[in-house]
Chains A and B, each alone.
Chain A
Amino acid sequence: MQPGIYHLLLISTALFFIGVYGFFTRRNLITMLMSIELILNSVNINFIAFNKYLWANKLDGVLFTIFIMAIAAAEAAVAIAIIINLYRSRQSIDVKHAEELKW
């Protein structure tokens, strides 16, 4: 059976929710960041799938994917820098230790 757009969309949707789930449940900040990467990747799959199956004559989706990857890298870089700084003050990268600001 040839994999069609629905299969790909299924995968991307699953990946999206896995990412979301990971973001909500993981306590390690790095892992949370990785979960977000999963979400972004699900979007990438979406774009590629749509581009290939629906709008094969327009390259917008592919281009978008490339940009997303680049931005994700930048985002991760800044995020990790911030997490390192957080670690300096708390000796921990557990999200539970960064809940001082509330109410």
Chain B
Amino acid sequence: MPNVIILVLIPFLPLASFLILGLFGKSIFRNTSGLAGTLSLFVSFLLSIYTSFGYFFEYGKANGIYQKLVPLKLSWLEFSNGLSIDMGIILDPISVMMIMVVTFISLMVHIYSLTYMKGEERFSTYYSYLSLFTFSMLGLVLSSNIFQIYIFWELVGVSSFLLIGFYYNKPSAVAASKKAFIVTRFADLGFLIGILVLSFYSGTLDFNTLIQRLTSPGSGELKTAVTTSFLGISALNWGLALVFMGGAGKSALFPLHIWLPDAMEGPTPVSALIHAATMVVAGVYLVARLFPVLALSAPEVLELITLVGVITALIAALIACTQTDIKRVLAYSTMSQIGFMMFALGVSGYGGSNGIGFTASMFHLFTHALFKALLFLGAGSVIHYVHSNEMKDMGGLKKHLPITHITFLIACLAIAGVPPFSGFFSKEGILLAAYEHNPAVFWLALATSGLTAYYMFRLYFRIFWYKASQQHKHHGEGGFAMMLPLILLAVGAAVAGFIPFGRFVSSDGSLLTLPFHWLFSIAPVTLGLLGIFSAMVLFKKENGKADQISSFMSRVYKLVYHKFYVDEIYLFITRKVLFSMVGRPAAWIDRNIIDGLVNLSGATTKAVSERIKVIQSGKVQHYGLYFLFGVIGLGVLLIYVIKF
């Protein structure tokens, strides 16, 4: 059985490093905070390797099926009727895979940042934030309780916020961090309500119990959840769709994606860690976690997921073709790839060979983490060199940055789905699942994968070729600390595809072999090569062709370049509707009407007081008159009106 202390240490080492660096980073660990953080994470990484070995090869299986183990469960906050938030650790194939991914990528980023962030004034703060993020992300993937996952969900959100806004002097960074937090918060609103709905109908917050109750066909909980409906949609579907909304926000799915490109304001290693490899796939992870319920009891929601996924994949790929900020291109490409993972889940069935989509999605998550982190770190190295994010400042860098160039190329090939790089295998699985399930999705996905190859290579050529090599007066390529992660990741990106992923991860824990039909692969590979070729034609040398094409389709180009004006729509809604139509009136009403009423009551009293002062006229005869009136009035009242 798993060693609980080791399991607990995996997330808690980064937590400890966060606390220590946060409290003493400026004093005791002034110079060594980077090393301290990296070391603690390294231990954590080793422990997670140990754990995953243990899980996959020793105790994880029972009867040939990977079990969902919960070696630790502490009651944290108990509500009524068996509803309680537990702090637990769940071990199943996907969580074990995720801790591997998270610790590994995080370790790479830690190492990379040692050089990249050197000389920053808030170096230790940076590392403490990184540790916080790592802790939260590990907590998220290990959560055994849906509320626990929500808690860590929020924590990764806030660490993302802190890291995006790390350069807090830059107004654009501040704006981006706010945007990221608020948009995901909006999505979390859905998540929260979804949790409330699910917990109400399932009577539990525990994942295993929840899944068990909502998938076993005879259970009373499932029955009420399916039969109760609101606006014609069953409660179960509402709950799951709302939970998915949370996932969509965090994973930057259309239309909640607008924060991700802006999030690139953060330091590049952060983008690699959070906004490429780990946090943004939390949504995918969440859907995967609830996959049994979705697949068995709520196929409608799966369709929604497919739809959103495929739209996101396509739109993001289109936008990526037009962007000029290299990190933004990568951001859109991340979006697009997450779309792939999402719809792969959407088109997947549950159990056995039906679950190809599931396995492929997780596989893609895994490989994507490697090559996308690599791309970002490579881009970071480029940015480190030229001190700019803009393509126009780049070109012809292949001589200056040889290692970056090679690793970047490997990553591009992987993402473009060129065999035998890792991306090829995972994407192949996804396409296959889509093909079997829904041809329309397949065709769209196919087109998108072609586009992927195009825009990635556009990026590649634009950075490393395009112009003649220029002499930069800057320093060299960044040194060992920056190159080591690049190389390690490049190796991973190149060979990870050969992992027999289905043997570890499948929808129901049973063993699965991802089918491979080389005939099927012809179309995507050809398309990918076509994309690469056209990118080469347009961008290998500086020529006007690309501009000609864009001016030829200027309308469409503009639409895509401006990201389909989604940001503007949001801006309109928040500025014009929420601020002007709700916020301002609310504030105005409060000050003028409600408070006005309070003041009015005071003013009325005063006015009445002023008005009636004339009766105290100072004339003693008037007083006598009032006296008499009073007597007579009271007499009349008591004798004739009230009548005793």
Chain A residues in the interface with B (C-beta under 8 A): 20, 23-25, 32, 95-96, 98-103
Contact = CB atoms under 8 A, between A and B. Distances in A.
Given A24-B625, A100-B618, 15 more contacts: A20-B628, A24-B621, A24-B624, A32-B621, A95-B619, A95-B621, A98-B620, A99-B617, A99-B619, A101-B618, A102-B616, A102-B618, A103-B613, A103-B616, A103-B618
In the A-B complex, the 9 residue pairs with the closest CB atoms: A102-B618, A99-B618, A103-B613, A24-B621, A103-B616, A99-B619, A23-B624, A101-B618, A24-B625
Contacts of A20: 624, 628
27 contacts: A20-B624, A20-B628, A23-B621, A23-B624, A24-B621, A24-B624, A24-B625, A25-B621, A32-B621, A95-B619, A95-B620, A95-B621, A96-B619, A98-B620, A99-B617, A99-B618, A99-B619, A100-B618, A101-B618, A102-B616, A102-B617, A102-B618, A102-B619, A103-B613, A103-B614, A103-B616, A103-B618
Contacts of B625: 24
Nearest to B617: A102
B625 to A, nearest CB: 6
Interface residues of B, number: 11
A102 B616 CA distance: 6
A23 B624 CA distance: 8
A35 to B, nearest CB: 10
B635 to A, nearest CB: 14
Nearest to A100: B618
A32 B625 CA distance: 13
Interface in B587-619: 613-614, 616-619
Residue from B613, B614, B621, B625 with most neighbouring chain A CB atoms (10 Å): B621
B630 to A, nearest CB: 13
Contacts of B614: 103
A32 B614 CA distance: 23
Contacts of A101: 618
A24 B624 CA distance: 7
A39 B616 CA distance: 24
Contacts of A100: 618
A17 to B, nearest CB: 10
A101 B613 CA distance: 12
A24 B627 CA distance: 11
Contacts of A24: 621, 624-625
A98 B628 CA distance: 21
Contacts of B628: 20
Nearest to B621: A24
A100 B620 CA distance: 11
Contacts of B613: 103
A102 to B, nearest CB: 3
Contacts of A98: 620
B628 to A, nearest CB: 6
A24 B614 CA distance: 18
Nearest to B615: A103
Contacts of B621: 23-25, 32, 95
Contacts of A102: 616-619
B535 to A, nearest CB: 92
Contacts of B620: 95, 98
Nearest to B625: A24
A103 B621 CA distance: 15
Contacts of A25: 621
A53 B270 CA distance: 113
Contacts of B617: 99, 102
A102 B614 CA distance: 9
Nearest to B618: A102
Nearest to A101: B618
Nearest to B622: A24
A20 B616 CA distance: 20
A103 to B, nearest CB: 5
A44 B616 CA distance: 32
B178 to A, nearest CB: 59
A28 to B, nearest CB: 12
A24 B619 CA distance: 10
A32 B83 CA distance: 87
A67 to B, nearest CB: 23
Q: Which of A32, A96, A102 has the most CB of B within 10 A?
A: A102
Nearest to B610: A103
Nearest to A29: B620
A92 B423 CA distance: 115
Contacts of A23: 621, 624
Contacts of A95: 619-621
A24 B620 CA distance: 9
Interface string B478-514: 0000000000000000000000000000000000000
A95 B616 CA distance: 15
Contacts of A32: 621
A31 to B, nearest CB: 11
A103 B612 CA distance: 9
In this complex, which of B614, B618, B625 has the most chain A Cβ atoms within 10 angstroms of its Cβ?
Answer: B618
A25 B330 CA distance: 100
A40 to B, nearest CB: 15
Nearest to A99: B618
A24 B628 CA distance: 10
Interface string B322-363: 000000000000000000000000000000000000000000
A23 B623 CA distance: 11
Nearest to A27: B621
Interface string B25-36: 000000000000
Contacts of B616: 102-103
B184 to A, nearest CB: 66
Contacts of B624: 20, 23-24
B450 to A, nearest CB: 92
Interface string B201-222: 0000000000000000000000
A65 to B, nearest CB: 22
